[in-house]
Amino acid sequence: MNAPEPDLVAEARAKDSDTSDTALHHTGSLSRRMMVIAAGWILVLLFAGGFALDRALVDLVEDNFDDQLEYLLTGMIASSEVGPEGEVFFYRPLGDQRFLEPNSGLYWQISGEGHEDWPSRSLWDRTLQINLDHVDDDVHYYDSDQFDGEPLRIAERSLTLPESDTQWTFAVASAREELDGQITRIRSILIWSFAVLGLGLFVMAALQSFYGLRPLRRVRMAIQRIRTTGTNRVTDPLPLEVQPLVDELNMLLAHSEKQAEEARTHAGNLAHALKTPLTVVNNAATARAPDLPDTVIREATTMRRHVDHHLARARAVGRRAVGLARTQVCDSAEAVLRAVERLYPAVRIDLDGRKKAVVSIERQDLDEILGNLIENAAKYGGGSVFVTVDAEPDDEQCVIWVEDDGMGIPEEKRVEIFDRGARLDTGKPGTGLGLAIVRDVAEIYGGGVELDESEDLGGLLVKLSLPRAR
């Protein structure tokens, strides 16, 4: 057994690689996208909410701490008087005992221009560095690092006491240790709470993504069943958001089935059309007929015409899918009339109706349809043909009448005449494909054909309906 040539092996591997790359090509995971978007928004909202809540709680704790300092400062001012020598003293002791304990973390001090600072006993040998260059009519709060290892929160206010001309500055200071401890505990609670909340939201987003996309997995399984079991529709109950997708899928499957049926019909039409010429050629060749060359040429021309026609009709299916065709009916009808008049010069053909009617069909397909109908009317009629464009005005369909003054078709025969090869008059040449072709091509574009009796001419009336162009 010979080994395959290296070039062929490489080419086969390249094709397999291309196929694999095509099969694996995608634009990413919906679940991953949903999780990334959810994670991004959760992080943004948690950080923004956490920051806002942190600022609100910290401000609330600091305001409460400042309110306590203001309460002590107000008590100091209310207990202050000016002595005979202009000094300040308390006429009653302050209530908080920490002012008496050295380095307790709670201090007060009264300062005035031209007077010595009067500190609390808790300051011991230290004093608060108070700036007397400005006046604080309202309570002023600020932080200070003047004591090493003991950051302070200070509330101070400037005022003039009765019977004194000195601008006194009253200050109360408290160590920030308790305040910073409360802020630290609050932030720790916030961090752990938001961490648990974020984890819970991530889990919820993951479950939502998994459960929310579950119908798509059910659609995939339903499509797999279509491929493996031969079912032709997705019938599983699905959510409202997914149902339109399933409806479109079912319509696509129906469209594919219709195209497959059309393809089988076209193949049958072509086979029937080629059967007779092949039989004629075979019989002539078997009998060694003297006119065999002429017979072969004639029948080959007929077969080529049928092949070309069915190829064009197959292309009409593809053009129909595009849905952008626009053809003026009168232009096509006038061209067909000129051709038929040359074939049947004794037949009178009249054209009337709405000149600007436009249908959604390719020009060459409309020419094929009208050519079959008008030629049949001229061939089988009594000498008069009447074509009316847009005979029954309608918003959706443009109806074209083709009437003749012939024998017509009996009502019981008007259904079977559309079968491939069906002919009522076998004395005239033809393949019996005319009306079948007209019906097939009209239905490809969403139209139809009906047969009736002409009230004016007494012969056959063909009603051709085609979708109106928008």
CATH code for the domain of 330: 3.30.565.10
d(C-alpha 340, C-alpha 347), whole Å: 9
- Split at pLDDT 50, 70, 90, the class of 166 is confident
Shared domain for 271 and 312, answered yes or no, is yes
If we measure between CA atoms, which residue out of 176, 184, 185 comes closest to residue 65?
176
* Residue 66's CATH number: 3.30.450
d(C-alpha 302, C-alpha 416), whole Å: 24
Helix (H, G, I), strand (E, B) or coil at 398: strand
Query: Residue 344: pLDDT above 60?
Result: yes
Shared domain for 406 and 314, answered yes or no, is no
Shared domain for 329 and 444, answered yes or no, is yes
Tokens (6 digits) for 431: 């393949």
Shared domain for 314 and 335, answered yes or no, is no
Final residue in a domain of this structure, among 321, 338, 353? 321
If we measure between CA atoms, which residue out of 110, 108, 80 comes closest to residue 96?
108
Token pair 């309570």: residue? 139
Q: Quick check: is 223 in a domain?
A: no
Shared domain for 270 and 404, answered yes or no, is no
- Split at pLDDT 50, 70, 90, the class of 1 is very low
Final residue in a domain of this structure, among 263, 290, 321? 321
Q: Quick check: is 49 in a domain?
A: no
What pLDDT shows up at residue 443?
84
Q: Domain tally for the chain?
A: 3
Mean pLDDT, the chain, rounded, equals 82
Q: Quick check: is 173 in a domain?
A: yes
Domain carrying residue 118? 54-182
Shared domain for 315 and 435, answered yes or no, is no
Query: Residue 34: pLDDT above 50?
Result: yes
d(C-alpha 198, C-alpha 444), whole Å: 58
What mean pLDDT is predicted for residues 140-157?
Answer: 91
Tokens (6 digits) for 337: 């009339």
Question: Per 3-state DSSP, what percentage of the chain is helix, strand, and coil (rounded to 5)?
Answer: 55, 15, 30
In one-letter notation, the amino acid at residue 447 is G
What mean pLDDT is predicted for residues 54-65?
Answer: 93
What mean pLDDT is predicted for residues 192-201?
Answer: 93
What pLDDT shows up at residue 301?
81
Shared domain for 293 and 371, answered yes or no, is no
Shared domain for 328 and 449, answered yes or no, is yes
Q: How far is CA 84 from CA 81, 98, 116, 160, 164, in A?
A: 10, 29, 16, 16, 10
Cα angle: 340, vertex 303, 310; to 5 degrees: 75
Give φ, ψ of 448 to 5 degrees: -170, 170
Q: Lowest-confidence range among 50-54, 55-59, 443-447? A: 443-447
What pLDDT shows up at residue 464?
92
Shared domain for 279 and 345, answered yes or no, is no
- Split at pLDDT 50, 70, 90, the class of 156 is very high
Shared domain for 138 and 261, answered yes or no, is no
- Angle at which helices 177-212 and 214-229 cross, to 10°: 20
Shared domain for 273 and 395, answered yes or no, is no
